[in-house]
């Protein structure tokens, strides 16, 4: 198995033009994520990204999938500014919004989406917050809308490489409530939110992508 060496929140550096942050982890997984979306994203409609980070992913996705109108969201003001810098002038891009993906009730307040995507967030929040995120995302989806969750996960309660074990341990040492979630738990949480798991995709560097759909 590949060894994981990603820092907990991908140390981002500023790149030109001014204001754009660039995270090495986001550079590494941008192409595999674009290929994943090519297979599993709806061709058109409204797409929401939760925890857009630097904004480099959503800028790439908006170029690759022009039939979708993209809504970035984040909590961190510095990253909201970076998202604005990356997405400035893109026609199929909405202005980034401040959104706590773990807050109760956001799903009913935001518009209805054909796609909701979150990349590398679940291991940084606790299990109740992850369940709330999934519940609210399910509420924010249109009928047949899709939720895609990507990141590192335990497999049947275990890490699958020494690098993953070290990364998971570093997260739980910083905060015992966070760290990798178990793949079986995530499937249970998706089902509890009335979502159907369509596919579970093995991604590079030991990551997983859950592809779930709301009923019609």
Question: Between 51 and 149, whose beta carbon lies closer to ligand SAM?
Answer: 51
Nearest-approach distance from CB 124 to ligand SAM, in angstroms = 6
Question: Between 95 and 143, whose beta carbon lies closer to ligand SAM?
Answer: 95
Nearest-approach distance from CB 76 to ligand SAM, in angstroms = 4
Nearest-approach distance from CB 143 to ligand SAM, in angstroms = 25
Question: Between 6 and 196, whose beta carbon lies closer to ligand SAM?
Answer: 6
Residues that bind ligand SAM (CB under 6 A): 9-10, 23, 26, 50-54, 57, 74-76, 79, 100-102, 119-121, 124-125
Nearest-approach distance from CB 27 to ligand SAM, in angstroms = 9
By Cβ distance, which residue is nearest to ligand SAM?
53
Label each residue of the chain as H, E or C.
Answer: CCCCCCCCCCCCEEECCCCEEECHHHHHHHHHHHHHHHHHCCCCEEEEEECCCCCHHHHHHHHHCCCEEEEEEECCHHHHHHHHHHHCCCCCECCCEECCCCCCCHHHHCCCEEEEEEECCHHHCCHHHHHHHHHHHHHHEEEEEEEEEEEEEEECCECCCHHHHHHHHHHHHHCCCCCCEEHHHHHHHHHHCCEEEEEEEEEHHHEEEEEEEECC
Question: Between 126 and 183, whose beta carbon lies closer to ligand SAM?
Answer: 126
Nearest-approach distance from CB 30 to ligand SAM, in angstroms = 9
Question: Between 26 and 149, whose beta carbon lies closer to ligand SAM?
Answer: 26
């Amino acid at each position: 198995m590949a060894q994981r060496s990603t820092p907990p929140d991908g140390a981002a550096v500023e790149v030109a033009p001014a204001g754009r942050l660039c995270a090495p982890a986001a550079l590494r997984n941008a192409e595999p994520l674009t290929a994943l979306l090519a297979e599993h994203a709806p061709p058109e409609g409204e797409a929401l990204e939760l925890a857009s980070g630097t904004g480099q992913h959503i800028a790439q996705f908006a170029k690759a999938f022009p039939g979708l109108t993209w809504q970035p969201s984040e909590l961190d003001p510095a990253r909201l500014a970076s998202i604005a810098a990356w997405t400035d002038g893109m026609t199929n891009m909405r202005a980034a919004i401040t959104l706590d993906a773990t807050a109760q009730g956001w799903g009913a307040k935001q518009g209805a989406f054909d796609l909701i995507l979150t990349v590398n967030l679940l291991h940084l929040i606790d299990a109740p917050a992850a369940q709330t995120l999934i519940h609210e995302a399910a509420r924010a989806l249109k009928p047949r809308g899709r939720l895609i969750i990507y990141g590192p996960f335990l497999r049947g309660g275990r890490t699958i490489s020494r690098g993953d074990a070290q990364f998971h341990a570093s997260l739980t040492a910083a905060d015992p409530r966070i760290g990798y979630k178990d793949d079986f738990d995530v499937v249970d949480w998706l089902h509890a939110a009335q979502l159907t798991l369509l596919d579970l995709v093995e991604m590079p560097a030991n990551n997983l992508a859950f592809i779930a759909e709301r009923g019609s």
